Amino acid sequence: MRVVLLGGAGYIGSVISAELLANGDEVTVVDDLIYATKERRDKPPFGTNFVRGDFRDENLLRDVVKGADAVVALGGLVGEPACDLDQDLTVELNYASAALAGEIAGECGVQHFVFLSTCSVYGRQDGLGTEETPANPLSSYARTKLLAEEHLAKVCQGNLSLTVLRLATVFGLSPRMRLDSVVNSMASRAARTGEIPLRGGAQWRPLLHVRDIAEVARRALHEKRATHPEPYVLNVGSDEMNYTIEHIAETVAGRIEGARVVRTPQPEDQRDYRISFARIREVFPGSCARGLGEGVDEIAAAVASGEFADLDQVGYDNLRGLRLAIDENRAKVLRTPAMRRLADEYEGRWTQA
């Protein structure tokens, strides 16, 4: 299978790339490497056909998508703080790029489009959220992802197969590492300093190992779902991995010798949701089996072995890395006709909400 990964050199994309290559797929990665710096020289996943470019570029998209069997859209900005830096940039990278890619994929005869979304679209919920639970996005990150889902459902209907993967909060080692997500941050800080900063703690989060995402993406691309309607939405994670933030901190403290939880006065994150993963358990049995302890242990071991030369390096943090990329003009708003058209659609959708 020939697969195009938009954003395939990032934290999640580099792991998916390796998974698909090991499966024997032909993988083309499109990525602008905006988080690469002088200190951190990101490399394209080995063995892929790498195209360094902007996946908001219509001409580039048409060139790379032509002849592909499937497109996986996973690029963009991750996390509320990074997305709040520049609203227009967030809309282009998280919503408009995926929407445009879906339109072009349909025109080029692609068979399957996979969009990596987020469980953050549920926002704040009582009880267990399912794929049928009404979305309640609380941030531009969640709103851009939700509107991309809605737009893709329209353009793919009757045209190409669409799978939406709503990811739980991701952790674990990757060739293009992030240390700012909740588990990675707590584990790396605990291994380095012995302290685990905790804001609030009662909020619920579902967790998901990055390698489990790669396996689910491969299975979504290769295993038939003929009995399911299109578009198809899957929460990706496991019921056993719904944790409170405090429980995550306590787990990290229990696995790293000498580590202790330190409560901080910063405002807590308002997202609070538990997710049901019954559907993915039925569709892809045995998926998402890696536990929190496994991820904490591997990150602590990587810190202890010196795998990360400098834990405070800007490239490990999405917010600081994006701020630097904007300052150095490596990340900027394009405002092409296609981007303006889709940005207007975004504004109209959330002005009416």
Annotated active-site residue in 95, 122, 141, 316: 141
Query: 316 with 177: CB under 8 angstroms?
Result: yes
141 belongs to the catalytic site? yes
The CA-atom distances, in angstroms, between 96 and each of 61, 102, 253 are 13, 10, 41
**What does the alpha-carbon distance between residue 76 and residue 3 come to, in Å, rounded to a whole number?**
18
**Are 220 and 114 a contacting pair, CB within 8 Å?**
yes
φ/ψ (deg, to 5) at 246: -65, -40
Helices (H) and strands (E) in the chain, counts: 13, 14
> Which of these, 197, 168, 147, lies nearest to 273 by C-alpha position?
168
Cis previous bond, 231, omega within 30 = yes
Q: Which residues of 206-245 are buried (b: 16+ CB within 10 A; e: fewer)?
A: bbbbbbbbbbbbbbbbeeebeeeeebbbbbbbbeebbbbb
Among 2, 127, 123, 130, smallest CA distance to 72 is for 2
Q: Check if the beta carbon of residue 323 is closer than 8 Å to that of residue 85.
A: yes
User: How many whole angstroms separate alpha carbon 287 and alpha carbon 213?
Assistant: 9
Q: Which residues are part of the catalytic machinery?
A: 141
